[in-house]
Amino acid sequence: MAILFDESKKTFTLHTDHSTYQMQLDRYGYLLHLYYGRRSEGCMDYLLQFADRGFSGNPYDAGLDRTYSLDVLPQEFPVQGSGDYRATLLSLRDESGAWGCDLRYQSHAIERGKYALAGLPAVYAEAEEDESETLRIELKNERTGLRVTLLYGVLPRLDIITRSAIVSNEGSGTVTVDRLGSACLDFVSGDFDLLSFYGRHALERQLCRRPVEHGLLSVGSRRGYSSHHYNPFVILCDRDATETSGRCWAMQYVYSGGFRADCERDGYEQTRLSMSLAGEKFAYPLAPGESLTAPEVILTYSDTGLETISHNLHRCLQKHVCRGKYRDAVRPILLNSWEASYFDFSGESLLRLADEAKALGVEMLVMDDGWFGARRDDCRALGDWSANEEKLGGSLGDLIREVNRRGLKFGIWMEPEMVSEDSELYRAHPDWALAIPGEKPQRSRYQLVLDLSRREVCEEIYKRICAVLDQGNIEYLKWDVNRSIAEAFSHEDKAQGRVLYDYMLGLYDILERLVQRYPDLLIEGCSGGGGRFDAGMLYYSPQIWCSDNTDAVNRLSIQYGTSFGYPVSAMGSHVSACPNHQTGRTTPLSTRGTVAMSGTFGFELDPAKLSEEEKREVGRQIAAFKADAALIHGGLYYRLSDPGRERVGAWEFAAEDGSEALVCAVLQEIEGNMTGSYLRLRGLTPGTLYRCREDGRTYPAAALMDMGFPLPLSLHQYESLTRHFERV
């Protein structure tokens, strides 16, 4: 059993293969957090300490006992107004305007299998190998009739625990939820660092490691989406934790909207880590009989460093979040038309592009922005999803058939959540855009955001997408979003504090219907590149365009940061032209290939502009990727260096059984009379020998892992190296 309830101790214990999570129902009906760490047996309530803490209030039930206070006790679901002055998971108001409520235990149930969430993405378990279990704990407030169902899912072999909560109004009056969180971890002691991943458009998910000091450290997104600026994923770890040592705890939000991750150290040296919906523009009313579900949070623990955290999450996302035909399949190698021609293309030029791509060994042509309506630039026509037949030289179906006849799959770009003011859709339905009445709207990329919190808007978007996809054999859809949400105002008569949450439900509903209707369609998520790179989107699209920045050197740090929480198979990554269109930097074609192959792999250029030698190099890259794709997408990923701090960016893919490894490196900095650089490999089988495919030499595994493999001193700046090691 993964979940145990000890009636005598009133403890709930959740076991995975290598971790234990424990909580206790105390004498007053409060649910206290005891432990989350290395797998352990027994009761950990000895960790609780009780003392009279000045200005820390006491529940009325405690009578004259001033040593009991929720202000200093570790909790599972802290609530505002309970006497806990730290960051909480739930804040609400009743009809009188009174804040807060007192939640007490009512009941619990342990069930086989992993729970699902209505309307929201969530981790799932495969039926044929299902060892998962669900714990439901019911809490209730008698005054308001509010019920909170705490959900815990345990996937033992993955060392994954998931958490969510459902808030239900079983009372007679309306309550308004102003804050709703999914998970909280309380630590009674410890000196920690917090790892978060910040950035901006074209430079996403840069690692930030900070010590947790006294006070509140908060990261999140107020932009309506998870955003380029902060990723909904954090790691708390020991101060001295490394890739291979130290205790680490991760929280990853399975949600694509605004979020907030709080880490707080109080005056008693206790630390709280929590993840919630973004509080700005959120005030969700619940009428009697209504409920609200908190998005899921994935938890995992490691006492062997950061790489174990990453491996746990990679396995979980690859096999238990991603779905469909392409979950386990190597994705087709594609050429996207965007950097090849931007808006300046025709049906004839696309077919020439297809011919060039086919000659290189590319498997799919993707037609990017500019194929529909009056779309000749980014100022117009979003929403008018009908092919410009004059531009394409025929129907969309004709073009698809011609591309297929050349032996290539066909893909298409759309931005369904957005609308241009200069569009037939906007002229017909201006009230379908999120905008404040009487105010000029905030523009971004000259476009507005459609109100997906409204059912009729979602229905129309879905209908228009299907009308496009039904015109031919479209096997790939790039789903883009190119602005943030500034005005969260719906013209539908509703409480405006629910718009952003309902927007995400509308988006997920559209995507789910598409996934069910087109099971062979590969959807790639995109939001100006990596502006919505999260576990929620991976439930519908098994890959996400990692960044609009295709510069190979910048991509080292972008893909490095992304790798902490997300698998390589999810990272959309392409070889692009040089000088690079975003940075102006020139890097060797071989280096661009090495970096792009550590992702889904594709091309973002015009093959006609390549030299004959460059075309041969592209052919070699395609052959190499096909040969190693199973290892790259299915092996264990190891970060061998930090490209933001070291002159070499290096990483490794190793088979789970240690039979082979692929090592990749890029030299970022060059200097006179260079000193040597050695890469210490990981994931090999100790006591065995490995033969290097490139130089034919045999190397002892222990030495490769202890002292490393030397990079040639002849490498030049931005030059790359790949080495394949196979166990003898």
* Rounded-to-integer distance, Cα 382 and Cα 665, Å: 41
* Rounded-to-integer distance, Cα 544 and Cα 532, Å: 8
* Rounded-to-integer distance, Cα 479 and Cα 532, Å: 11
Q: What is the dihedral of CA 525, 529, 532, 537, to 10 degrees?
A: 20
387 Cβ contact list (under 8 Å, min separation 6): 371, 372, 395, 396, 399, 468, 471
* Rounded-to-integer distance, Cα 138 and Cα 88, Å: 18
Give 481's Cβ-side CA count (13 Å radius). Answer: 24
pLDDT in tens, 89-107: 999 999 999 999 999 999 9
* Rounded-to-integer distance, Cα 269 and Cα 504, Å: 37
Residue 221 β-bridge partners: 259
Nearest to 346 by CA among 382, 307, 305, 398: 398
Contact 448, 433 (CB under 8 A): yes
Segment 578-602 mean pLDDT: 98
Contact 618, 607 (CB under 8 A): yes
Burial 496-508 (b: 16+ CB within 10 A, else e): ebbbbbbbbbbbb
Confidence of residue 126 (pLDDT cuts 50, 70, 90): confident
Does 178 participate in catalysis according to the annotation? no
Token code pair at residue 21: 């999570």
Helix (H) or strand (E) holding 159: none
Contact 122, 115 (CB under 8 A): yes
Residue 367 β-bridge partners: 412
* Rounded-to-integer distance, Cα 154 and Cα 114, Å: 7
Helix (H) or strand (E) holding 165: strand 160-169
Strands 602-604 and 334-336: parallel
Q: Which one of 264, 475, 524, 534 is the catalytic residue?
A: 534
Segment 618-630 mean pLDDT: 97
Confidence of residue 127 (pLDDT cuts 50, 70, 90): confident
Token code pair at residue 508: 């997920």
Nearest to 721 by CA among 663, 679, 674, 640: 663
CB atoms within 10 A of CB 623: 11
Reduced to 3 DSSP states, what percent helix, strand and coil does the chain have, rounded to the nearest 5?
20, 30, 45
* Rounded-to-integer distance, Cα 361 and Cα 582, Å: 26
pLDDT in tens, 297-310: 999 999 999 999 99
pLDDT in tens, 156-169: 999 999 999 999 99
Residue 725 β-bridge partners: 661, 692
Contact 403, 393 (CB under 8 A): no
* Rounded-to-integer distance, Cα 597 and Cα 592, Å: 9
Segment 375-387 mean pLDDT: 97
Confidence of residue 147 (pLDDT cuts 50, 70, 90): very high
Determine the distance from the C-alpha atom of residue 608 to the mean position of all C-alpha atoms in its chain, rounded to a whole number: 36
With 70 as the cut, is the pLDDT of residue 719 above it? yes
- CA distances, 652 to each of 141, 561, 701, 725 (Å): 52, 15, 14, 11
Strands 571-572 and 543-545: parallel
* Rounded-to-integer distance, Cα 279 and Cα 285, Å: 14
pLDDT in tens, 395-442: 999 999 999 999 999 999 999 999 999 999 999 999 999 999 999 999
* Rounded-to-integer distance, Cα 593 and Cα 717, Å: 16
| pLDDT attached to residue 684 | 98
Does 534 participate in catalysis according to the annotation? yes
Residue 443 gets which letter from DSSP?
P
* Rounded-to-integer distance, Cα 477 and Cα 468, Å: 10
Residue 210 β-bridge partners: 194
Contact 586, 579 (CB under 8 A): yes
**Mean pLDDT of the chain, nearest integer:** 97
Per the omega criterion (within 30 degrees of 0), is the bond before 579 cis? yes
* Rounded-to-integer distance, Cα 470 and Cα 105, Å: 52
Nearest to 664 by CA among 561, 574, 594: 594
| pLDDT attached to residue 533 | 98
With 90 as the cut, is the pLDDT of residue 130 above it? no
* Rounded-to-integer distance, Cα 444 and Cα 449, Å: 10
Segment 64-92 mean pLDDT: 96
User: Which pTM does this prediction carry?
Assistant: 0.98
Strands 602-604 and 575-576: parallel
Segment 545-571 mean pLDDT: 98
Q: Which one of 71, 243, 614, 642 is the catalytic residue?
A: 614
Contact 196, 83 (CB under 8 A): no
Confidence of residue 391 (pLDDT cuts 50, 70, 90): very high
pLDDT in tens, 324-373: 999 999 999 999 999 999 999 999 999 999 999 999 999 999 999 999 99
* Rounded-to-integer distance, Cα 38 and Cα 53, Å: 30
81 Cβ contact list (under 8 Å, min separation 6): 91, 99, 100, 101, 102
Confidence of residue 128 (pLDDT cuts 50, 70, 90): low
Mind listing the domains of the chain with CATH numbers? 81-320 (2.70.98.60), 334-632 (3.20.20.70), 648-727 (2.60.40.1180)
Percent of the chain residues topping a pLDDT of 70: 100
Contact 691, 726 (CB under 8 A): yes
Burial class (CB in 10 A: 0-12, 13-18, 19+), 424: middle
**Radius of gyration for the chain, computed over Cα atoms and rounded to the nearest angstrom:** 27
